[in-house]
Structure 1
Amino acid sequence: MVRWLVRQEIDMWRSLFLWLGRRRPGLRPGVTAYPYVAIVRPALWAFIVGSAIEVLAVHLLLQRWPAIQLPALVLGIWGLLWMLGMLGAVTVYPHLVGDDGVRLRHGSAVDLPIAWTDIASVRSTRHDYEGMRRIRVEEGDSPVLALTQLGQTNVEIRLHAELTPALARGRTGVSSVRVYADDARALVSALRAGAVESPRATP
């Protein structure tokens, strides 16, 4: 648990600095980025602005109690930076499509490379999920990994064989991956084109 918390803190600061520096790891010539931030950006900015106002209001209200005012200010600023880091993470880690295949990402938490030869089919289809979990695994005969944004995915990739992504709760084999993309049609077209150009090798 402690290791996970430390990693989250490091990832938050790294994402924030990458965002401020306008850098997107993995993006290079020949690689195309497919963002998934548009759907969550308004909500995150609303929380950020609201939190900034709250930090200022609490700071003013606690002027008569300096022993409490300073720790509250530090904690408020830390929380504000955390939310900025969350926005930075979903901005600087888009899905990437290149010569070797696709890298499906969810902030700094998931980076799943899939080779063209592993892709069986791709389609644009919406799935809605309840609750706040952004990374889900649906177990069953055909396990599915869903990387949601606001409880939604709009691209589904079916695989020839199960892949085993490294997730926070361990490794789980999945036969399909569902993700969200701002431009689902463009991502689906790129994935279909790449899979067709790199047909699955026969044994």
Structure 2
Amino acid sequence: MERQLPARLIRLAPIVLPLLAIAFARAMTFTDWAAANAALAALLFAWIVAESLLLATIAKAEDRKPGLRAMLGAGAAASVVVLVGAAAPVREAIHGMPPLLAAAALTLALFVAWSGALIVHTLSGGASVEEAAAIVLPPKLVRFISAESRIMRLALCGWWRAQDVPAGAQGFSYHRFLLPMIYVFLALQAIELAMVHFLLMQWNATVAWIWFGLGIAGGLWIVGLAQGFRIHPVLLTEHGLRVRSGAMVDLLVPYDAIACIVPSFGAEHVKAADTFDHAMLSWPNAMLELDRELTVRPLLGAEQRVRRIALRIDESAAFLGALEDRVPQLRG
């Protein structure tokens, strides 16, 4: 653990240090000195922002050799920060420097044009919007936006959707024990949100409404998760077992990858690093042993290599019986 911590800090440094430098530079534009020396402060602010983002791009690149488009993207991001991020007197000084404005506008235009051409080319090759966006934006950011969008769509529109069980597949629910607990949690969250909002209104209305908005967004996120659990049951399909956990996980387990049904299991099996625990807020009631490793790629979070799958199914006996019917070698 002691060796892992410095390694993690080193990986975070190219992200954290530039942000700290930019935040410090922006804070300095609000000082009296910056207001009295707006032109000099504007040039210093532009230099620090551009230098920080470009050095961060170099540090994060493989072999410290970023491509031209990556450097152009860093320059475009720096242009946006420089044009809108400083205090009013410094920002006015920046807007009064035609060469600086022209350089920022040209950088932004080149990056947008290049990125747009790449997106169009990728989409024309049959890729999804998410795959195309990941070419021009950080993949983790694209996955995060995609995940948030999917959860919010479920929260707002999932109430009218039936369970997603394709033709020829058998669906097995796991939400009946889970949803009541989630809705109780939501009710408690709503009470807490109302109380905190009332208290904050006595101090600062702006902060109170920001807190209220964040609370509503968090509540919708939880509703979206709950709807996903209902809409996306575990499936037995022609090609294998689809282990789904709402909109968060969708793992296809080929039938020939299932070595056996584990008749009994304890905490050491469920909590093992190579076990995917499908159960939430409860204990699993079925476990499958695999004959090879599979990779679980959740909507959010890190990948996991697994050799066992622990499941919580509302009707576990019916599920195991149907699984044995499709995979006769599991019997006995």
How high is the TM-score relative to the length of structure 2? 0.49
Change (3 A) 1:91 1:6: same
Query: Residue deviations 1:4-38, cap 9 Å, x none?
Result: 5434422321332452232434x123222111122
Partner of residue 165 from structure 1, selected from 293, 296, 299? 296
Shift of the alpha carbon at 1:179?
Answer: 1.4
Deviation at residue 63 of structure 1 after TM alignment: 4.3
Return closer, same or farther for 1:159/1:72 CA change in 2, 3 Å cut-off. closer
In angstroms, what is the RMSD of aligned CA positions?
2.8
| Higher RCO structure (Cα 8 Å, ≥6 apart) | 1
> Taking structure 1 as the reference length, what is the TM-score of the superposition?
0.76
TM-aligned CA deviation for residue 197 of structure 1: 8.3
Structure 2: distance between partners of 1:127 and 1:40: 21
Aligned residues of 2:278 and 2:310 also touching (Cα < 8 A): yes
Q: Residue 153 of structure 1 aligns with which residue?
A: 284
Task: Summarize the Cα distance change of 1:128–1:181 in structure 2 as closer, same or farther, 3 Å threshold.
Answer: farther
Distance 2:196 2:157 in 1: 30
Which is higher, the Rg of structure 1 or of structure 2? 2
Amino acid at match of 1:10: S
Mean alpha-carbon deviation: is it higher for 175-184 or for 49-58?
49-58
Alignment match, 1:111: 250
Q: In proportion to residue count, which structure has more helix? A: 2
Alpha carbons 2:232, 2:244 under 8 Å: kept: yes
Mapped partners of 2:256, 2:190: distance in 1: 47
The 2-side partners of 1:90 and 1:15 are apart by 10
Corresponding residue number in structure 2 for 1:93: 232
2-side partners of 1:102 and 1:93: how far apart?
13
Structure 2 segments unaligned to the other structure (5+ residues): 1-139
Kindly indicate whether residue 145 of structure 2 is the aligned counterpart of residue 6 of structure 1.
Answer: yes
* 1:187 partner SS: helix
Residue 138 of structure 1 is matched in structure 2 by: 272
Superposed CA deviations along residues 112-144 of structure 1, whole A, max 9, x for unmatched, are 112223222224546448xxxxxx8734xxx43
Match of 1:35 in 2: 173
* Alpha-carbon distance change, 38 to 127 in structure 1, aligned in 2, over 3 angstroms: farther
Indicate the percent of aligned positions where both proteins have the same amino acid: 23
Amino acid paired to 1:36: Y
Tell me if structure 1 keeps the 8 A contact 2:295–2:303: no
Q: CA deviation at 1:3?
A: 4.7
Offset of 1:195 from its aligned partner? Answer: 0.5
Kept after mapping to 2: 8 A contact 1:19/1:91: no
1:171–1:70 Cα change, 3 Å: closer
Deviations 1:139-180 (A, max 9, x none): 4xxx433223225221111223333333542352x3322111
Partner of 1:120: 259
Question: After the TM superposition, which segments of 4 or more aligned residues of structure 1 sit over 6 Å from their partners?
Answer: none
CA displacement, residues 53-98 of structure 1 (integer Å, 9 cap, x when unaligned) = 2233334444444323322221221121122122122222210112
Is residue 289–residue 309 contact of structure 2 (8 Å, CA) maintained in 1?
yes
1:103 to partner: Cα distance: 0.3
Structure 1 or 2: more strand by fraction: 1
Distance 1:126 1:47 in 2: 29
Structure 1 gap ranges (5+): 130-135, 199-203
Q: Number of aligned pairs?
A: 187
**1:53 aligned partner:** 191
Other structure's SS at 1:191 match: helix
